[in-house]
């Protein structure tokens, strides 16, 4: 029915199920040698299969629903008259990404750490999605605004869903590494450089949910300040700010971020998410604090 996107590891197409006419998104495994070393194609295929099979058992209102996975051996799913690639069937979302939402922030509002109802509601939902993955002992490893989808809810707010589809075909390889936008899939890494925790960059096979908390911290910082950080260097500034002396407000001012009254608790939480793993807050604590802040500000609205 149509092309939704091409990525480093796959192609995503819009389709309709034959049995009930539902519109779905189908992700075909199709690793691109321009972005992924051919020597690790087997590893990419294993990850793809694991994503499909495990994901099909996950059901949460803030996770993109994976409906089915098929090995599609010799094109069996298409009776030999179609693609032979393995594929994942997912719910189709007419939605925008959180990245586009952040980029639409008016210039005058960028850099202001503001906990508006829409932003805080989105933050609560994303954190709950990560918390749900933790309950299954799963680590997403690529939490970022481009992998979060927003669609209007019945109340006029936003329903946020975390996915992991790699639908964008990246530009120049070295430029993407420099800006932190490249999704890296190789023998030693999986994730997006700018959002990648230090331990994931060094020992990707050993990461825990604490690595997702790091990535979530950058995502929430970008959401609450209405600006996408240009590179990993800006993340290092946040790390340095957390280690520096002085008040939260002074550290944020040093980062050219204005701190509105009453936001100190969330500002401290965000900065704590950039600590070393042993000092980083748990995802349960992140969810709890965001829930409390939302109820305090908007209970009854």
What is d(CA 17, CA 226) in angstroms, rounded to the nearest whole number? 38
Concatenating the DSSP letter of every residue in 82-115 gives S--S-EEEEE----EEHHHHHHTS-GGGTTEE--
Is the dihedral angle over the CA atoms 50, 52, 57, 61 positive or is it negative?
positive
Indicate the DSSP class of residue 8: S
Residue 60: alpha-carbon gap to chain centroid: 15
- Grouping H, G, I as helix, E, B as strand and the rest as coil, residue 125 is helix
Q: Pick the closest to residue 271 from 299, 288, 257, 251 (CA basis).
A: 251
Q: What are the backbone angles phi and psi of residue 21, rounded to the nearest 5°?
A: 65, 15
Which helix or strand (DSSP H or E) is residue 70 part of?
strand 66-70
- Grouping H, G, I as helix, E, B as strand and the rest as coil, residue 24 is strand
What is d(CA 104, CA 157) in angstroms, rounded to the nearest whole number? 16
Q: Is 142 known to be catalytic?
A: yes
Catalytic residue among 42, 142, 212, 272: 142
What is d(CA 144, CA 84) in angstroms, rounded to the nearest whole number? 31
Active site residues: 142
């Amino acid at each position: 029915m149509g092309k939704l996107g091409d990525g480093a590891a796959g192609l995503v197409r819009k389709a309709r199920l034959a049995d009930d006419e539902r519109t779905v998104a189908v992700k075909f495994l199709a690793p691109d040698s321009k972005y992924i070393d051919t020597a690790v194609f087997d590893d990419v295929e294993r990850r793809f299969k694991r994503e499909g099979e495990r994901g099909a058992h996950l059901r949460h209102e803030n996770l993109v629903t994976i409906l089915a996975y098929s090995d599609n051996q010799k094109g069996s799913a298409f009776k030999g008259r179609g693609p032979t690639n393995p594929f994942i069937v997912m719910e189709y979302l007419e939605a925008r990404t959180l990245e586009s939402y952040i980029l639409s922030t008016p210039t005058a509002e960028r850099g202001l750490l503001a906990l508006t109802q829409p932003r805080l509601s989105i933050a609560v939902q994303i954190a709950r999605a990560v918390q749900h993955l933790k309950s299954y002992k799963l680590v997403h490893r690529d939490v970022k605004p481009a992998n979060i989808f927003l669609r209007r809810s019945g109340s006029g707010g936003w329903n946020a869903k975390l996915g992991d589809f790699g639908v964008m075909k990246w530009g120049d390889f070295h430029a993407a590494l420099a800006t932190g936008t490249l999704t890296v899939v190789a023998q030693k890494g999986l994730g997006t450089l700018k959002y990648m925790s230090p331990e994931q960059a060094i020992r990707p096979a050993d990461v825990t949910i604490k690595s997702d908390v790091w990535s979530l911290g950058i995502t929430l910082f970008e959401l609450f300040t209405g600006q996408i950080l240009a590179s990993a260097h800006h993340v290092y500034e946040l790390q340095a700010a957390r280690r520096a002396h002085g008040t939260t407000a002074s550290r944020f001012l040093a980062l050219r971020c204005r701190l509105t009254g009453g936001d100190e608790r969330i500002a401290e939480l965000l900065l704590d998410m950039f600590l070393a793993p042993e000092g980083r807050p748990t995802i349960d604590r992140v969810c709890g604090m965001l829930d409390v802040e939302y109820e305090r500000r908007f209970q009854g609205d």
